[in-house]
């Protein structure tokens, strides 16, 4: 391994057997022993990675992508099926916090036991004991049996031991939420002191803000392989875009399933009831009003793929389709739509009159479509309203909150809408 490399991962793979019918009770174990019916889960698949000494690297990805498994392979909690891992330097792992704690031993006794697991001698532990106790904030509880500790006290003690062994390589897995807010700040300060002191740090976390703040490099894993690695801003942005797409896809599937179920119920009600009530939309008088001389029979949001949805990706085109039925012809028709926050604040509204479109004739039934080349809303939940009025703005059918929908955006701005912009910093005059 090169002198400047702290961690070398070469063509490493790790899989697990997932048994489909694992015996749970003693009776099942005696009668059935263990079923040989299992599937193989490839947690890490032929990964190669070098981490330099003094570098802080984050492993990111969705649950089950292999990041925690890779960290456990590096710390030798697990061993690879194939490949080789070399680590240069004393390792402290904030992964299985409290591993080796004995419930009947006091906190003080467990400090000696746990610190020795990290490779410290008794003399080294004696020198660090007061600092470990002070950092844990356990006070006089340090001489009570660990079994009497709350989960928070237990984790604080375990974290304090692991963080005070002066590691050259620090491995951290999703434990940065230990204790209260003040304790978390202290943990971050300690980790940053390791970073600036030249330690090599590998972090597994879903806290992308922390990743961008303290990491030099980000490695994005998916399906046990490396998708992308490099500068935190760039890789985190790519990962967010990917997760936004996945989120919208999941929302789309849920919405499509719920729509299918509602259609089945509606079809049953139609077959068993009157035709007149079959298309009536379920809104109260505080939400829907108007003469119904023109009636909105359905409205929907359509994404760029032509799918009816309740979730949009910012920056992508979309449309709002309003189906109508004319019960009594009017001299002129104005169709409108609007977006509200979940606090019922109107943030955008438009209609055909504003856009100088005169509609004087309509077929008995049809669709009016509002289209946009780009959704400019920021991440959040919103409400859609749809309406049709006559030329005097008398409500024919006005539905204030027709449906809720979500938007996911990679824009880190705050508020409700994205504004195209640029910054210019003037140079100081001499």
* Distance (Å, whole) CA 318 – CA 314: 10
Low-confidence ranges of the chain (pLDDT < 70): 1-3, 20-24, 26-36, 96-100, 175-180, 261-280, 430
Which homologous superfamily does the CATH classification assign to the domain defined by 5-242?
P-loop containing nucleotide triphosphate hydrolases (3.40.50.300)
By C-alpha distance, which of 52, 99, 112 is closest to 72? 99
With vertex at residue 218, the alpha carbon angle to CA 217 and CA 222, rounded to the nearest 5 degrees, is 155
Torsion over CA: 118, 124, 126, 131 (sign): negative
Query: Phi-psi region for residue 220, left (φ > 0), alpha (ψ -120 to 50) or beta?
Result: beta
DSSP conformation letters of 19-46: ESS---SHHHHHHH-----EEEEEEEEE
Q: In what order do the strands lie in the sheet with 56-60?
A: 91-94, 169-173, 200-204, 56-60, 217-222, 225-230
What per-residue confidence (pLDDT) applies to 28?
Answer: 64
List the beta strands (DSSP E) in 160-304: 169-173, 200-204, 217-222, 225-230, 288-289, 294-302
CB 70 within 8 A of CB 59: yes
C-alpha 278 chain-centroid distance: 40
Which top CATH class is 278-408?
A: mainly beta
CB 11 within 8 A of CB 46: yes
CB proximity list for 77: less than 8 A, separation 6 or greater:
93, 95, 96
CB 95 within 8 A of CB 71: yes
Residue range 397-418, pLDDT digits in tens = 999 999 999 999 988 899 999 9
By C-alpha distance, which of 88, 87, 53 is closest to 70? 87
* Distance (Å, whole) CA 173 – CA 94: 6
pTM of the model as a whole: 0.76
Q: How far is CA 216 from CA 53, 138, 339, 362, in A?
A: 12, 34, 40, 61
CB proximity list for 291: less than 8 A, separation 6 or greater:
394, 395, 396, 397
Residue range 175-211, pLDDT digits in tens = 666 666 777 788 788 888 888 889 999 999 888 888 8
Domain with CATH 2.70.50.60 in the chain: 278-408
What per-residue confidence (pLDDT) applies to 175?
Answer: 65
């Amino acid at each position: 391994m090169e002198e400047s490399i702290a961690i070398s991962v070469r063509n490493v793979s790790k899989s697990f057997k997932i048994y489909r019918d694992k015996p749970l009770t003693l009776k099942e174990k005696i009668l059935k022993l263990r079923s040989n019916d299992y599937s193989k889960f490839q947690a890490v698949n032929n990964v190669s990675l070098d981490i330099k000494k003094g570098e802080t690297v984050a492993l990111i990805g969705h649950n089950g992508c292999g990041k925690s498994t890779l960290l456990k392979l590096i710390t030798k909690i697990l061993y690879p099926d194939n490949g080789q891992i070399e680590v240069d330097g004393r390792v402290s792992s904030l992964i299985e916090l409290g591993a080796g704690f004995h419930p009947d031993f006091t906190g003080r006794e467990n400090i000696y036991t746990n610190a020795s697991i990290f490779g410290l001698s008794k003399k080294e532990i004696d020198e660090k004991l007061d600092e470990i106790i002070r950092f844990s904030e356990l006070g006089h509880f340090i001489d009570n049996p660990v079994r009497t500790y709350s989960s928070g006290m237990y984790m604080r003690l375990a974290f304090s031991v692991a963080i005070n062994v002066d590691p050259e390589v620090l491995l951290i897995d999703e434990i940065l939420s230990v204790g209260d807010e003040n304790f978390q700040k202290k943990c971050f300060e300690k980790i940053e002191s390791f970073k600036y002191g030249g330690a090599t740090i590998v972090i597994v976390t879903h806290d992308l803000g922390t990743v961008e703040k303290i990491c030099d490099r980000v490695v994005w894993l998916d399906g046990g392989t490396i998708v992308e690695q490099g500068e935190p801003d760039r890789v985190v942005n790519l990962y967010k875009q990917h997760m936004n797409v996945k989120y919208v896809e999941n929302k789309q599937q849920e919405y499509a399933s719920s729509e299918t179920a509602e259609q089945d119920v509606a079809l049953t009600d139609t077959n068993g009831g009157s035709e007149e009530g079959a298309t009536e939309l379920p809104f109260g008088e505080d939400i829907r009003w108007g003469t119904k001389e023109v009636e909105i029979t359905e409205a929907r949001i359509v994404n760029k793929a032509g799918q009816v949805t309740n979730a949009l990706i910012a920056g992508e085109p979309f449309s709002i389709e309003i189906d109508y039925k004319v019960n009594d012809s009017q001299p002129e028709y104005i169709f409108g739509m609007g977006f509200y926050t979940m606090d019922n604040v109107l943030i955008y509204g438009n209609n055909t009159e504003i856009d100088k479109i005169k509609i004087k004739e309509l077929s008995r039934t049809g669709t009016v479509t509002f289209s946009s080349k780009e959704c400019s809303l920021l991440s959040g939940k919103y409400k859609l309203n749809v309406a049709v009025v006559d030329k005097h703005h008398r409500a024919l059918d006005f539905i204030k909150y027709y449906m809720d929908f979500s938007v996911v955006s990679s824009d880190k701005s705050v508020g409700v809408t994205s504004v195209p912009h640029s910054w210019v910093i003037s140079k100081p005059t001499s």
